[in-house]
Structure 1
Amino acid sequence: MLSIAVFSGSSSGLDPSYGESARELGRALAKLKIRLICGGGDTGLMKTLADAVLESGGNVLAVVPEEMEGKEAVNKGVTQVQIVPTISDRKRKIQEMADGFLVLPGGVGMMDEFFYVYSQAKLGVHAKPIALLNTNSFFSPIAAMLNNMVSQNFIKEKHMALISFCDDPTKLLSDIIHSLQE
Protein backbone atom coordinates (compact mmCIF):
# COMPACT_ATOMS: atom_id res chain seq x y z
CA MET A 1 0.00 0.00 0.00
CA LEU A 2 1.26 3.44 -0.91
CA SER A 3 1.79 5.66 2.15
CA ILE A 4 1.90 9.45 2.19
CA ALA A 5 2.96 11.38 5.28
CA VAL A 6 1.16 14.65 5.83
CA PHE A 7 2.45 17.35 8.16
CA SER A 8 -0.14 19.90 9.25
CA GLY A 9 -1.27 22.20 12.00
CA SER A 10 -2.75 21.33 15.37
CA SER A 11 -4.89 24.43 14.80
CA SER A 12 -7.45 24.91 12.04
CA GLY A 13 -6.25 28.42 11.21
CA LEU A 14 -8.49 31.41 10.57
CA ASP A 15 -9.53 30.79 6.98
CA PRO A 16 -12.09 27.97 6.42
CA SER A 17 -10.32 27.12 3.14
CA TYR A 18 -7.58 25.35 5.15
CA GLY A 19 -10.07 22.83 6.50
CA GLU A 20 -11.81 22.48 3.13
CA SER A 21 -8.47 21.64 1.47
CA ALA A 22 -7.61 19.15 4.24
CA ARG A 23 -10.99 17.41 3.81
CA GLU A 24 -10.58 17.27 0.02
CA LEU A 25 -7.10 15.79 0.39
CA GLY A 26 -8.34 13.25 2.94
CA ARG A 27 -11.16 12.07 0.67
CA ALA A 28 -8.71 11.80 -2.26
CA LEU A 29 -6.22 9.75 -0.21
CA ALA A 30 -8.97 7.31 0.80
CA LYS A 31 -10.38 7.07 -2.74
CA LEU A 32 -6.94 6.18 -4.09
CA LYS A 33 -6.35 3.70 -1.22
CA ILE A 34 -3.28 5.60 -0.03
CA ARG A 35 -2.50 5.24 3.66
CA LEU A 36 -2.14 8.50 5.57
CA ILE A 37 0.79 8.63 7.96
CA CYS A 38 0.56 11.47 10.46
CA GLY A 39 1.25 12.53 14.02
CA GLY A 40 -2.27 11.51 15.00
CA GLY A 41 -3.31 14.67 16.81
CA ASP A 42 -6.94 15.14 17.78
CA THR A 43 -7.13 18.85 16.95
CA GLY A 44 -6.88 21.25 14.04
CA LEU A 45 -6.06 20.33 10.46
CA MET A 46 -4.46 17.09 11.67
CA LYS A 47 -7.86 15.89 12.92
CA THR A 48 -9.78 17.31 9.94
CA LEU A 49 -7.53 15.45 7.50
CA ALA A 50 -7.48 12.13 9.39
CA ASP A 51 -11.26 12.22 9.96
CA ALA A 52 -11.85 12.82 6.23
CA VAL A 53 -9.67 9.83 5.37
CA LEU A 54 -11.45 7.63 7.90
CA GLU A 55 -14.96 8.80 6.95
CA SER A 56 -14.14 7.90 3.34
CA GLY A 57 -13.04 4.37 4.30
CA GLY A 58 -9.30 5.05 4.28
CA ASN A 59 -6.41 4.00 6.48
CA VAL A 60 -4.60 6.27 8.98
CA LEU A 61 -1.38 5.39 10.81
CA ALA A 62 -0.51 7.73 13.68
CA VAL A 63 3.10 7.84 14.86
CA VAL A 64 2.96 9.09 18.44
CA PRO A 65 5.94 9.96 20.67
CA GLU A 66 5.83 8.74 24.28
CA GLU A 67 7.19 12.11 25.40
CA MET A 68 3.95 13.76 24.20
CA GLU A 69 1.73 11.54 26.38
CA GLY A 70 -0.64 13.76 28.30
CA LYS A 71 0.35 16.86 26.28
CA GLU A 72 -1.47 16.09 23.04
CA ALA A 73 -4.58 13.92 22.61
CA VAL A 74 -4.45 11.20 19.96
CA ASN A 75 -7.31 10.90 17.48
CA LYS A 76 -9.18 7.83 18.75
CA GLY A 77 -10.44 6.93 15.28
CA VAL A 78 -7.09 6.23 13.63
CA THR A 79 -6.62 2.79 12.12
CA GLN A 80 -3.26 2.12 13.76
CA VAL A 81 -1.00 3.79 16.33
CA GLN A 82 2.74 3.28 16.47
CA ILE A 83 4.46 4.53 19.63
CA VAL A 84 8.02 5.87 19.44
CA PRO A 85 10.12 7.35 22.27
CA THR A 86 10.62 10.95 21.10
CA ILE A 87 9.53 13.54 18.56
CA SER A 88 12.89 13.07 16.81
CA ASP A 89 12.13 9.35 16.55
CA ARG A 90 8.70 10.19 15.11
CA LYS A 91 10.28 12.27 12.33
CA ARG A 92 12.73 9.49 11.49
CA LYS A 93 10.04 6.78 11.58
CA ILE A 94 7.64 8.77 9.40
CA GLN A 95 10.43 9.49 6.92
CA GLU A 96 11.29 5.79 6.80
CA MET A 97 7.71 4.57 6.29
CA ALA A 98 6.37 7.22 3.89
CA ASP A 99 6.64 7.06 0.12
CA GLY A 100 6.18 10.84 -0.12
CA PHE A 101 5.38 13.92 1.94
CA LEU A 102 2.64 16.53 1.77
CA VAL A 103 2.68 19.65 3.90
CA LEU A 104 -0.45 21.55 4.88
CA PRO A 105 -0.58 24.90 6.67
CA GLY A 106 0.42 24.83 10.30
CA GLY A 107 2.80 26.21 12.88
CA VAL A 108 6.28 25.53 14.20
CA GLY A 109 5.86 21.75 14.46
CA MET A 110 4.79 21.51 10.82
CA MET A 111 7.74 23.69 9.78
CA ASP A 112 10.12 21.48 11.77
CA GLU A 113 8.80 18.35 10.07
CA PHE A 114 8.91 19.93 6.61
CA PHE A 115 12.45 21.23 6.96
CA TYR A 116 13.57 17.89 8.40
CA VAL A 117 12.43 15.89 5.35
CA TYR A 118 13.57 18.65 2.99
CA SER A 119 17.07 18.77 4.47
CA GLN A 120 17.26 14.97 4.41
CA ALA A 121 16.31 15.01 0.71
CA LYS A 122 18.90 17.72 0.07
CA LEU A 123 21.53 15.51 1.74
CA GLY A 124 20.48 12.51 -0.35
CA VAL A 125 19.15 10.49 2.58
CA HIS A 126 15.93 9.93 0.64
CA ALA A 127 14.59 10.74 -2.82
CA LYS A 128 10.90 10.93 -1.91
CA PRO A 129 8.67 13.68 -3.29
CA ILE A 130 7.83 16.65 -1.04
CA ALA A 131 4.93 18.96 -1.84
CA LEU A 132 3.39 21.91 -0.03
CA LEU A 133 -0.34 22.56 -0.32
CA ASN A 134 -0.35 26.30 -0.84
CA THR A 135 -3.93 26.92 0.28
CA ASN A 136 -4.75 30.63 0.44
CA SER A 137 -1.08 31.34 -0.56
CA PHE A 138 0.00 30.16 2.90
CA PHE A 139 3.41 28.90 1.73
CA SER A 140 4.17 31.72 -0.72
CA PRO A 141 6.42 33.48 1.85
CA ILE A 142 8.36 30.21 2.32
CA ALA A 143 8.78 29.89 -1.45
CA ALA A 144 10.01 33.49 -1.58
CA MET A 145 12.45 32.85 1.28
CA LEU A 146 13.82 29.69 -0.36
CA ASN A 147 14.15 31.46 -3.72
CA ASN A 148 16.02 34.25 -1.94
CA MET A 149 18.35 31.61 -0.45
CA VAL A 150 19.00 30.40 -4.01
CA SER A 151 19.66 33.92 -5.28
CA GLN A 152 22.04 34.52 -2.36
CA ASN A 153 23.82 31.21 -3.06
CA PHE A 154 22.80 29.50 0.20
CA ILE A 155 20.77 26.83 -1.61
CA LYS A 156 21.56 25.36 -5.00
CA GLU A 157 18.89 25.72 -7.69
CA LYS A 158 18.72 21.91 -8.01
CA HIS A 159 17.61 21.70 -4.38
CA MET A 160 14.56 23.84 -5.11
CA ALA A 161 13.47 21.11 -7.51
CA LEU A 162 13.15 18.74 -4.54
CA ILE A 163 9.93 20.44 -3.45
CA SER A 164 6.79 21.60 -5.19
CA PHE A 165 3.99 24.02 -4.36
CA CYS A 166 0.37 23.72 -5.49
CA ASP A 167 -2.93 25.14 -4.28
CA ASP A 168 -5.14 22.25 -5.48
CA PRO A 169 -5.19 19.19 -3.15
CA THR A 170 -6.24 16.72 -5.84
CA LYS A 171 -3.65 17.94 -8.37
CA LEU A 172 -0.95 17.96 -5.67
CA LEU A 173 -1.70 14.34 -4.79
CA SER A 174 -1.77 13.40 -8.48
CA ASP A 175 1.63 15.07 -8.99
CA ILE A 176 3.09 13.14 -6.03
CA ILE A 177 1.75 9.84 -7.37
CA HIS A 178 3.08 10.63 -10.85
CA SER A 179 6.55 11.38 -9.46
CA LEU A 180 6.52 8.08 -7.55
CA GLN A 181 5.73 6.19 -10.74
CA GLU A 182 8.65 7.71 -12.70
Structure 2
Amino acid sequence: MSAPSFSLCVYCGSRPGGSPAFLEAARQVGEWIGRHGGQLVYGGGRNGLMGVVADSTLKAGGRVVGIIPKALVEKEWAHNGCTELHVVDTMHERKRLMAEHAHAFLALPGGIGTFEEFFEVWTWRQLGYHDKPVGLLNVGGYYEGLMAFLRTAVQAQFMNDWQMDLIRVGADIERLLPALIEAAGTAPQPRLDEL
Protein backbone atom coordinates (compact mmCIF):
# COMPACT_ATOMS: atom_id res chain seq x y z
CA MET A 1 0.00 0.00 0.00
CA SER A 2 1.38 3.43 -0.93
CA ALA A 3 1.80 6.19 1.61
CA PRO A 4 -1.45 8.02 2.37
CA SER A 5 -1.95 11.44 0.79
CA PHE A 6 -3.23 12.87 4.10
CA SER A 7 -4.01 11.81 7.64
CA LEU A 8 -7.27 12.89 9.31
CA CYS A 9 -7.85 12.42 13.04
CA VAL A 10 -11.54 11.77 13.73
CA TYR A 11 -13.13 12.06 17.15
CA CYS A 12 -16.57 10.46 17.48
CA GLY A 13 -18.87 8.44 19.67
CA SER A 14 -18.23 4.89 20.84
CA ARG A 15 -22.03 4.58 20.69
CA PRO A 16 -24.15 4.73 17.51
CA GLY A 17 -26.36 7.57 18.75
CA GLY A 18 -30.10 7.79 18.34
CA SER A 19 -30.32 8.79 14.69
CA PRO A 20 -29.42 6.82 11.56
CA ALA A 21 -27.96 10.09 10.24
CA PHE A 22 -25.05 9.77 12.69
CA LEU A 23 -24.12 6.31 11.44
CA GLU A 24 -24.47 7.43 7.84
CA ALA A 25 -22.21 10.43 8.42
CA ALA A 26 -19.55 8.20 9.99
CA ARG A 27 -19.81 5.85 7.01
CA GLN A 28 -19.50 8.73 4.54
CA VAL A 29 -16.51 10.24 6.33
CA GLY A 30 -14.67 6.90 6.30
CA GLU A 31 -15.56 6.34 2.66
CA TRP A 32 -14.35 9.84 1.75
CA ILE A 33 -11.01 9.25 3.50
CA GLY A 34 -10.47 5.92 1.75
CA ARG A 35 -11.68 7.14 -1.64
CA HIS A 36 -9.18 10.00 -1.55
CA GLY A 37 -6.20 7.86 -0.57
CA GLY A 38 -6.10 9.06 3.01
CA GLN A 39 -5.49 7.69 6.45
CA LEU A 40 -7.85 7.71 9.41
CA VAL A 41 -6.37 8.28 12.85
CA TYR A 42 -8.80 7.54 15.65
CA GLY A 43 -9.22 6.04 19.10
CA GLY A 44 -8.95 2.41 18.01
CA GLY A 45 -12.41 1.23 19.06
CA ARG A 46 -14.73 -1.09 17.22
CA ASN A 47 -18.05 0.11 18.70
CA GLY A 48 -20.46 2.85 17.66
CA LEU A 49 -19.47 5.57 15.23
CA MET A 50 -15.80 4.74 15.84
CA GLY A 51 -16.21 1.27 14.39
CA VAL A 52 -18.26 2.52 11.45
CA VAL A 53 -15.76 5.19 10.39
CA ALA A 54 -12.87 2.70 10.67
CA ASP A 55 -14.65 -0.07 8.75
CA SER A 56 -15.75 2.36 6.04
CA THR A 57 -12.24 3.74 5.62
CA LEU A 58 -10.79 0.23 5.28
CA LYS A 59 -13.52 -0.87 2.87
CA ALA A 60 -12.80 2.17 0.65
CA GLY A 61 -9.08 1.34 0.54
CA GLY A 62 -7.76 3.75 3.16
CA ARG A 63 -5.36 3.13 6.01
CA VAL A 64 -6.56 3.12 9.61
CA VAL A 65 -4.34 3.94 12.58
CA GLY A 66 -6.01 3.15 15.89
CA ILE A 67 -4.54 4.34 19.18
CA ILE A 68 -6.08 2.84 22.29
CA PRO A 69 -5.19 2.65 25.98
CA LYS A 70 -4.42 -0.79 27.39
CA ALA A 71 -7.40 -0.59 29.77
CA LEU A 72 -9.81 -0.42 26.84
CA VAL A 73 -8.08 -3.22 24.95
CA GLU A 74 -8.59 -5.41 27.99
CA LYS A 75 -12.31 -4.70 27.82
CA GLU A 76 -12.16 -5.98 24.20
CA TRP A 77 -13.11 -2.67 22.65
CA ALA A 78 -10.09 -2.61 20.32
CA HIS A 79 -10.62 -2.84 16.56
CA ASN A 80 -8.22 -5.60 15.53
CA GLY A 81 -8.73 -4.90 11.82
CA CYS A 82 -6.81 -1.60 11.92
CA THR A 83 -3.86 -1.20 9.56
CA GLU A 84 -1.90 -0.19 12.67
CA LEU A 85 -3.11 -0.55 16.25
CA HIS A 86 -1.01 1.21 18.88
CA VAL A 87 -1.64 0.19 22.49
CA VAL A 88 -0.61 2.89 24.97
CA ASP A 89 -0.60 3.22 28.75
CA THR A 90 -2.57 6.44 29.26
CA MET A 91 -5.29 8.59 27.71
CA HIS A 92 -2.85 11.50 27.53
CA GLU A 93 -0.41 9.40 25.49
CA ARG A 94 -3.29 8.31 23.25
CA LYS A 95 -4.34 11.88 22.50
CA ARG A 96 -0.78 13.09 21.94
CA LEU A 97 -0.06 10.27 19.45
CA MET A 98 -3.36 10.87 17.65
CA ALA A 99 -2.42 14.54 17.26
CA GLU A 100 1.10 13.72 16.07
CA HIS A 101 -0.17 11.30 13.41
CA ALA A 102 -2.73 13.74 11.96
CA HIS A 103 -2.65 16.61 9.48
CA ALA A 104 -6.14 17.79 10.52
CA PHE A 105 -8.85 17.03 13.08
CA LEU A 106 -12.57 16.40 12.74
CA ALA A 107 -15.19 15.85 15.42
CA LEU A 108 -18.34 13.92 14.53
CA PRO A 109 -21.26 13.55 16.94
CA GLY A 110 -20.28 11.93 20.20
CA GLY A 111 -20.39 12.26 23.96
CA ILE A 112 -18.16 13.59 26.69
CA GLY A 113 -14.98 11.95 25.32
CA THR A 114 -15.53 13.49 21.88
CA PHE A 115 -16.20 16.91 23.43
CA GLU A 116 -13.05 16.69 25.55
CA GLU A 117 -10.84 15.70 22.62
CA PHE A 118 -12.30 18.40 20.37
CA PHE A 119 -11.86 21.14 22.98
CA GLU A 120 -8.35 19.99 23.84
CA VAL A 121 -7.09 20.04 20.25
CA TRP A 122 -8.78 23.44 19.72
CA THR A 123 -7.09 24.73 22.90
CA TRP A 124 -3.73 23.40 21.71
CA ARG A 125 -4.26 25.29 18.45
CA GLN A 126 -5.04 28.61 20.14
CA LEU A 127 -1.94 28.21 22.33
CA GLY A 128 0.26 27.56 19.30
CA TYR A 129 1.15 23.93 20.01
CA HIS A 130 0.00 23.12 16.47
CA ASP A 131 -1.43 24.93 13.47
CA LYS A 132 -3.51 22.08 12.09
CA PRO A 133 -7.10 22.65 10.95
CA VAL A 134 -9.88 21.67 13.36
CA GLY A 135 -13.37 20.84 12.09
CA LEU A 136 -16.77 20.09 13.58
CA LEU A 137 -19.25 18.05 11.52
CA ASN A 138 -22.69 19.33 12.50
CA VAL A 139 -24.80 16.29 11.53
CA GLY A 140 -28.52 17.02 11.72
CA GLY A 141 -27.91 20.12 13.82
CA TYR A 142 -26.28 18.06 16.60
CA TYR A 143 -23.83 20.84 17.49
CA GLU A 144 -26.23 23.81 17.15
CA GLY A 145 -26.64 24.12 20.92
CA LEU A 146 -22.89 24.02 21.45
CA MET A 147 -22.30 26.70 18.83
CA ALA A 148 -24.95 28.91 20.45
CA PHE A 149 -23.25 28.49 23.82
CA LEU A 150 -19.85 29.34 22.32
CA ARG A 151 -21.32 32.53 20.84
CA THR A 152 -22.63 33.33 24.33
CA ALA A 153 -19.08 32.91 25.67
CA VAL A 154 -17.85 35.39 23.05
CA GLN A 155 -20.59 37.87 23.95
CA ALA A 156 -19.69 37.49 27.63
CA GLN A 157 -16.06 38.28 26.69
CA PHE A 158 -14.58 34.98 27.88
CA MET A 159 -13.67 34.19 24.27
CA ASN A 160 -12.89 36.18 21.13
CA ASP A 161 -13.98 35.90 17.52
CA TRP A 162 -10.45 34.89 16.50
CA GLN A 163 -10.76 31.77 18.64
CA MET A 164 -14.02 30.89 16.91
CA ASP A 165 -12.30 31.40 13.57
CA LEU A 166 -9.83 28.61 14.45
CA ILE A 167 -12.54 25.99 13.88
CA ARG A 168 -14.46 25.12 10.73
CA VAL A 169 -18.05 24.03 11.24
CA GLY A 170 -20.23 22.48 8.55
CA ALA A 171 -22.81 19.84 7.77
CA ASP A 172 -21.64 19.00 4.23
CA ILE A 173 -18.96 16.30 4.25
CA GLU A 174 -18.05 16.93 0.61
CA ARG A 175 -17.23 20.56 1.45
CA LEU A 176 -15.87 20.38 4.99
CA LEU A 177 -13.37 17.53 4.54
CA PRO A 178 -11.69 18.93 1.41
CA ALA A 179 -11.45 22.33 3.14
CA LEU A 180 -9.71 20.78 6.15
CA ILE A 181 -7.27 18.78 4.03
CA GLU A 182 -6.51 21.75 1.79
CA ALA A 183 -5.88 23.96 4.83
CA ALA A 184 -3.57 21.29 6.28
CA GLY A 185 -1.27 21.59 3.28
CA THR A 186 0.39 24.66 4.73
CA ALA A 187 0.56 23.64 8.39
CA PRO A 188 4.03 24.14 9.93
CA GLN A 189 5.67 21.55 12.14
CA PRO A 190 3.74 21.11 15.39
CA ARG A 191 5.16 21.57 18.90
CA LEU A 192 3.21 18.68 20.39
CA ASP A 193 6.35 17.37 22.06
CA GLU A 194 6.15 20.39 24.39
CA LEU A 195 2.83 19.29 25.88
Please classify the TM superposition score into its range, dividing by the shorter chain length.
over 0.9
Alignment of 1:30-179 (within 5 A): 30-179=34-183
1:63 is paired with a residue whose SS is strand
Q: Which amino acid aligns with 1:59?
A: R
Q: Matched residues in 1 for 2:75 and 2:140: separation?
A: 30
The answer to whether residue 184 in structure 2 is matched with residue 180 in structure 1 is yes
Q: Are the aligned partners of 1:101 and 1:129 in contact in 2 as well (CA < 8 Å)? A: yes
Which residue of 8, 13, 16 maps to 2:17? 13
- What is the deviation of 1:95? 1.2
TM-score, normalised relative to structure 2? 0.90
Q: Are the aligned partners of 2:103 and 2:181 in contact in 1 as well (CA < 8 Å)? A: no
**Other-structure match for 2:191:** none
Q: Are the aligned partners of 1:134 and 1:140 in contact in 2 as well (CA < 8 Å)? A: yes
Q: Which amino acid aligns with 2:177?
A: L
Q: In the comparison of the two structures, how many residue pairs are matched? A: 182
Identify unmatched segments of 5+ residues in structure 2: 187-195
Q: Matched residues in 1 for 2:174 and 2:27: separation?
A: 11
Identify unmatched segments of 5+ residues in structure 1: none
Q: Matched residues in 1 for 2:96 and 2:149: separation?
A: 26
1:47-81 alpha-carbon deviations (Å, 9 max, x no partner): 01101001111100001112323235111211111
Identity %: 36
Query: Structure 1's 56 and 118: CA in aligned 2 closer, same or farther, altered over 3 A?
Result: same
- RMSD across aligned C-alpha pairs, in angstroms? 1.1
Q: Matched residues in 2 for 1:52 and 1:3: separation?
A: 15
Q: Are the aligned partners of 1:40 and 1:78 in contact in 2 as well (CA < 8 Å)? A: yes
1:79-136 alpha-carbon deviations (Å, 9 max, x no partner): 1111221011111111122110000000111111111101111111111101011001
Q: Which amino acid aligns with 2:146?
A: I
Q: Are the aligned partners of 2:57 and 2:63 in contact in 1 as well (CA < 8 Å)? A: yes
Q: Matched residues in 2 for 1:98 and 1:132: separation?
A: 15
Q: Are the aligned partners of 1:60 and 1:80 in contact in 2 as well (CA < 8 Å)? A: yes
TM-score, normalised relative to structure 1? 0.96
